A = this chain, B = another copy of it.
Amino acid sequence: MSAEVICIGTELLLGDILNTNCQYLARELANLGIPHYYQTVVGDNVERIHQVIAIAIKRSSILIFTGGLGPTPDDLTTETIASFFHTPLQEEAAIIEDIEHKFASVGRVMSPSNRKQALIPQGASTLPNPTGTAPGIIWQPQSNLTIMTFPGVPSEMHHMWQDTAISFLKSQGWGQETIFSEMMRFRGIGESALAEKVAHLFDSRNPTVAPYAGQGEVRLRVAAKASSQKEAAAMIKPVATEIKQIAGLDYFGSDDETLAAVVGKLLTDVQQTLSVAESCTGGGLGAMLTETPGSSNYFLGGVIAYANQVKQALLNVNSQDLAESGAVSNIVAEQMALGVKQRLQTDWGISITGIAGPGGDTPEKPVGLVYIGIATPENESFSYDYRFGKQRGRELVRYLSSCTALDLLRRNLLKLSTFG
């Protein structure tokens, strides 16, 4: 028993989109302990899809299709699978109703072409799509063969996988052994430096420890295989504890614990509030903080001070300091942090001012130079300079600036800053 992923879409063959669905499904199958030996990508073409199915059913017993469920004529997946197995399509009234309802909820009327999305092979079940119009199918067209289809839109596919596919697979007796993992997240240390510190753990077979490079952070995946998630979690715990001891403050959280969520939890614990003053990030730090539901409990808002006159008018940045040191300087970063803290009456203020590029640099102030300021509940202020390097590019410099600001606040909230 093994699974095969078949991604359908001419856009994949033209390189127009990156196939993230394969990685997602590969990881999910691995977590369920379902073997998976082949992935195939094929275009929106009946004959070639038929050929791919003919090959796949000889070597795999679960075929997972993504893509080609849309309403347009080049979306062929469902009808092509049905025709391969010589099975007629039938219109499912419940799907029509669901699609109509979804259109109505956003004040629109279903297009006639969407009717096509309600056609499923006779004998197949609907795989509901809670966040989009196109449902998938779960179908066993012959013994020892299960077909599941998903739309190509990653977010819709993820919901359908989590909400329906996993429990279906388990109900069929697949995925009884589980692989459970903890993704540990670190900042302030490079991948190779961390890997050297924990090298003795890499030989372990169960749980396994493997390093991953992430954007703006380093990750270690600790994964255990066991008959239950509880058992696997118990196997992971001592290893994760050892790693935390080794990494110290450089470890900031695991799995979905983002820097913003960790900072939010620390602020909630001490019942303190935060505001931000952003120049080169243009609102990105505020957006990152408010990704966390409930962030209104500690995040009051901020000032996007992209232009210098806004820095002066709303943040009380001194015009002489601005003229003498420039907007990208320690003194302006500190004044911005103090200014927003005072203006919004919060306990903490954080500021970011830097040169994101591609232009605006000077020999002394290269692209990638960023100052981050912090104003504390005691009205102290300080700032640090970072050189993210111009080769990183505008978007990454901005992203790393926001991450670094959050990490700086995290370390200050832990009152154990290793920066000062």
Give the chain B neighbours of A389 by CB distance below 8 A: 102, 105-106
**Contact indicator A14/B223 (Cβ below 8 Å):** yes
Q: Per-residue CB proximity of A194-206 to B under 8 Å, as 1/0?
A: 0110010010000
In A105-148, the 8 Å CB interface with B consists of 105-108, 111-114, 130-131
Residue of B nearest to A292 (CB): B394
Partner of A387, one of B20, B105, B190, B300: B105
Give the chain B neighbours of A22 by CB distance below 8 A: 12, 15, 19, 41
Contact A304:B307 (CB < 8 A) given known A74-B210, A131-B391: no
Give the chain B neighbours of A183 by CB distance below 8 A: 16
Contact A213:B70 (CB < 8 A) given known A306-B296, A310-B301, A391-B130: yes
Give the chain B neighbours of A223 by CB distance below 8 A: 14
Task: Choose, from A89-97, A170-178, A283-291, the stretch at the interface.
Answer: A283-291
A45 nearest CB across to chain B (Å): 7
Give the chain B neighbours of A295 by CB distance below 8 A: 282, 306
Partner of A301, one of B105, B287, B293, B303: B303
Task: Choose, from A25-33, A76-84, A233-241, A242-250, the stretch at the interface.
Answer: A25-33
**Contact indicator B190/A108 (Cβ below 8 Å):** yes
Residues of chain A whose beta carbon lies under 8 Å from any beta carbon of chain B: 10-20, 22-30, 36-43, 45, 48, 51-52, 55, 59, 70-74, 102, 105-108, 111-114, 130-131, 152-153, 155, 179, 181, 183, 190-193, 195-196, 199, 202, 210-213, 215, 221, 223, 276, 278, 280-287, 289-291, 293-296, 299-307, 309-310, 313-314, 343-345, 356-359, 387-389, 391-396, 398
**Contact indicator A73/B202 (Cβ below 8 Å):** yes
**Contact indicator A113/B51 (Cβ below 8 Å):** no
The residue among A276, A287, A398 with the most chain B CB atoms within 10 A of its own CB is: A287
Partner of A278, one of B114, B286, B310, B314: B286
Give the chain B neighbours of A102 by CB distance below 8 A: 389
Give the chain B neighbours of A190 by CB distance below 8 A: 108, 111
**Contact indicator A387/B36 (Cβ below 8 Å):** no
Give the chain B neighbours of A155 by CB distance below 8 A: 215, 393, 396
Give the chain B neighbours of A48 by CB distance below 8 A: 37-38
Residue of B nearest to A24 (CB): B15
User: A-side binding surface: helix, strand, loop or mixed?
Assistant: mixed
**Contact indicator B27/A195 (Cβ below 8 Å):** no
Partner of A282, one of B39, B212, B289, B294: B289
**Contact indicator A23/B15 (Cβ below 8 Å):** yes
The residue among A42, A301, A387 with the most chain B CB atoms within 10 A of its own CB is: A301
**Contact indicator A193/B111 (Cβ below 8 Å):** yes
Give the chain B neighbours of A108 by CB distance below 8 A: 190
What is the CA–CA distance of A278 and B394 in the complex, to the nearest angstrom? Answer: 23
Partner of A26, one of B15, B52, B293, B393: B15
**Contact indicator A39/B14 (Cβ below 8 Å):** no
**Contact indicator A306/B310 (Cβ below 8 Å):** no
Partner of A19, one of B23, B276, B344: B23
Give the chain B neighbours of A290 by CB distance below 8 A: 280-284, 306, 356, 398
A17 nearest CB across to chain B (Å): 7
